[in-house]
Amino acid sequence: MLATTLGHARSKGTQTTLRLAGATASSRAVKTAGTHLLPARIQNVDPLLACFSSAANTSLPVSSSSLSLRTSSSPAIAFRRSFSSSAAVTMSSTPQRALNIDNINPHVKAAKYAVRGELAVRSEEYRAQLDKNDDKLPFKHVISANIGNPQQLDQQPITFFRQVLSLVENPLLLQHEEVLINNLGYKTDVIERAKWLLSKVGSVGAYSASNGAPAIRQSIADFLERRDGFPANEADIYLSAGASSGVNTLLHVICAGPSSGVLVPIPQYPLYTASLSLLNAQCVPYYLDEAHNWATDLEAMRKSLTEARANDVDVRAVVVINPGNPTGSSLSEQDIEDVIDLAHSEKLIILADEVYQTNVFVGKFYSFKGVLRRMQEKNPGKYDSVELASLHSVSKGMVGECGHRGGYFELVGIDPAVQAEIYKFVSIMLCAPVVGQCLVELMVNPPKPGQPSYELYNKEYNTIFNGLRERAVALHKAFDQMEGVECGEPQGSMYLFPTITLPQKAFDAAAAEGRAADEFYCLKMLEATGVCVVAGSGFGQKPNTLHFRTTFLAPGTDWVANIVKFHKEFMDTYR
Ligand SMILES: Cc1ncc(COP(=O)(O)O)c(C=O)c1O
């Protein structure tokens, strides 16, 4: 088991400086042959940090040639692979250049993002091979189940959204309303909405206000009020280029230095760990409870928080992804109350990543804002100081418009002076893409019953929703038949994250290739079927457990059957 938090590695002649985050666990798996000893504080580092953290509050000089990770656990091997691949890049780089691999920002090198990692690159190579009619591969199509990118996997855009966008992009079309209506099937509410948006944003080719067009922020506030049953203030809403840019803004403001820490769920969407790496801040991981369908586990959160604070980490925020990525879980109201209670008692700002709020198949979605407001109502004064930022996006749900880069975050309970700095931060980036802002407006204010576009909108929305749910259930059923594969029922988001139990021979074969066993399994799956999934180690997982994440966005059932067949053959080979 890898027992060190490995941040960035900076080559210094024959030596490499590894910067390690102070955390918890043992150093038994790190063998630093020769003279270099681990500082006492670093001898206890939680293995679950190993894949991700780059935080640097301690430097450890070790010889790169002497670094050996003697372990069968996946994070260790993942590290060794990434370490050796960066070493390989170092050798091929030309040091004469002003910018070379030894002098760029080490935090960029340290950041990991498995969703678009080695397997994704390999799958693109296969796709290029297939495009050239290369028939040597044992499959005819590559299925990119590694990323929640609905329209890449044939999800159709919603007609109302695209019709309005076509008009805001090309307002000249509005000079031909009869053609739009009689020949192109545009409804009058499409035309009205486009005119309204144009009257508010002017041209979509112009910058908007830094935090987004005021009328769009008001429309979002109205949506939040309808959703939660409590008022929302447009001044607390910030449009962003997808939720990713919102997370980037918030983490930049939250993380003041290398000792600033953020509680991040494990498994998690690697945006969080990668962003913390880039900021040279501390990822403080807490495990989700797989036995309870990946719910938040208050004990685990408290434990991580206490240990991190004991190690001088200034933990300031807690990230919750609901519905979950990669877990597909959907949190209960009680779980959310518990997190809010923890945040209140421990003075943590909550980052509620709610981009999958409409992808809920079991039960209903509870927003952090709604739950917080109810708690405030029931306990006057008690939770007034809770600080919350909740994020949403046009990329997911039935909208699925990842390429348009639209999103927003809402701030609750944030100090006005801090909010002014957040405003300044987004100003430096000028504004979120204005077409993306228009799409956010359409998402939060879709056609209503009785309006001309409603019937088609509703039909398209339900078709996408039902299709996702059916595919989730079908995939889950397939996993049920697979030996050594266990998976909770699909509750939400776009993913399943099954546990896989592999035979020892598979571990040995993986180790011989210097790979983690889950990575090895996923690579073999890609080679055999063309289906690209992501190994659990890319999201973090408990030691001695293996998982993979797949979306259930891809249409058809062949690819699922191919996974089942591959799995059986894999198990037979390595049994
Ligand atoms: C949990 C979560 N948050 C944020 C994002 C980023 O989405 P975007 O930047 O496209 O809005 C994703 C993308 O997959 C995600 O899964």
Instruction: Tell me how far the alpha carbon of residue 354 lies from the centroid of ligand 1, in angstroms.
Output: 9
CA of 477 to the centre of ligand 1 (A): 27
Ligand 1 centroid – CA 564 distance (Å): 28
- Give, using CA atoms, the residue closest to atom 13 of ligand 1: 148
- How many Cβ atoms are within 10 Å of 115's Cβ, its own excluded? 21
Where are the chain's structural domains? Answer: 2-112, 118-154+460-573, 216-444
**Is 558 or 5 the better-scoring residue by pLDDT?**
558
Mutational pocket test of ligand 1: of 113, 288, 325, the residue with most ligand atoms within 8 Å of the beta carbon: 325
Residue 323: cis peptide before it, omega within 30 degrees of 0 = yes
Q: What is the mean pLDDT of the chain?
A: 84
Enter the CATH code of domain 118-154+460-573. 3.90.1150.10
Relative to the CA of 321, which ligand 1 atom is closest?
1
The per-residue pLDDT for 115 is 65
276 touches 282 (CB < 8 A): yes
Task: Choose which residue among 395, 405, 408 to substitute to test ligand 1 binding: the one with the highest number of ligand atoms within 8 A of its C-beta.
Answer: 395
411 vs 104, higher pLDDT:
411
The CATH architecture annotation of domain 216-444 reads 3-Layer(aba) Sandwich (3.40)
pLDDT above 70 coverage of the chain, percent: 83
* Band of pLDDT at residue 7, cut at 50, 70 and 90: very low
CA 463, 464, 469: angle at the middle one, nearest 5?
100
68: Cα within 13 Å, side-chain hemisphere: 6
Q: Nearest CA to 374 among 357, 386, 359?
A: 386
- Residue 52 pLDDT > 60, yes or no? no
- Which residue, judged by its Cα, is nearest atom 16 of ligand 1? 325
CA gap 138, 237 in Å, rounded: 50
pLDDT, residue 2, reads 28
* Residue 147 CA, closest ligand 1 atom number: 14
Residue pLDDT, tens place only, 123-151: 999 999 999 988 889 999 999 999 888 88
**What is the number of other CB atoms lying within 10 angstroms of the CB of residue 166?**
15
Only one residue has tokens 């790169």, namely: 64
Q: How far is the CA of 95 from the centre of ligand 1 (A)?
A: 36
CA distance 54 to 49: 9
pLDDT above 70 for 321: yes
